[in-house]
């Protein structure tokens, strides 16, 4: 059930992203947007490199190799989703409309859905995740 829900979250994220691209609401020439999107991409790369050679799964599926708590994972539990949301919402903010906001909501909702599914599955595989979760934030320090 959780893997199916996480797949639904992934699909929501992709539909939202595609909607932003089709509506030309993802990229901007505004310097602040460019800086935020470059920062988001850097966070994504840092997280991906820290995560190592583990593969990406469309449905949530905790991988072998132990719990990753270094790099950006030292500060937030889901830096890749954080980077994805920052990248897309920076572009969306530069092209604000209700349609763009709807696509952004799909991205954020899909990310949060995946986060809760993944955390439940990771706790089952790595019981030490509960302790790690007590000292980190999911996406935004001091907020979520």
* DSSP one-letter string for 90-122: HHHHHT--HHHHHHHHHHHHHHHHHHHHHHHHH
Domain boundaries, the chain: 2-52+68-134
Give pLDDT tens digits for 86-104: 999 999 999 999 999 999 9
Q: What is the DSSP letter of 22?
A: H
Residues 6 or more apart whose CB falls under 8 angstroms from that of 11 comprise 110
> What percent of the chain has pLDDT above 90?
77
Round to whole Å and give the CA distance between 109 and 82. 12
User: What pLDDT, on a 0 to 100 scale, did the predictor assign at position 65?
Assistant: 76
> What percent of the chain has pLDDT above 70?
97
Round to whole Å and give the CA distance between 101 and 95. 9
């Amino acid at each position: 059930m959780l893997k199916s829900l996480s797949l639904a979250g992934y699909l929501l994220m992709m539909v939202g992203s595609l909607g932003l691209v089709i509506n030309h609401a993802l990229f901007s020439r505004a310097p602040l947007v460019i800086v935020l999107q470059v920062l988001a991409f850097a966070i994504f790369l840092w997280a991906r490199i820290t995560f190592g050679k583990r593969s990406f799964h469309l449905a949530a599926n905790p991988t072998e190799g132990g719990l990753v708590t270094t790099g950006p994972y030292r500060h937030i539990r889901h830096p890749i989703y954080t980077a994805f949301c920052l990248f897309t919402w920076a572009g969306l903010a530069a092209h604000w409309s209700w349609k763009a906001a709807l696509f952004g909501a799909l991205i954020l909702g899909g990310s949060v859905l995946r986060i809760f599914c993944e955390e439940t599955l990771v706790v089952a595989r790595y019981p030490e995740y509960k302790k790690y979760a007590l000292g980190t934030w999911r996406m935004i320090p001091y907020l979520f």
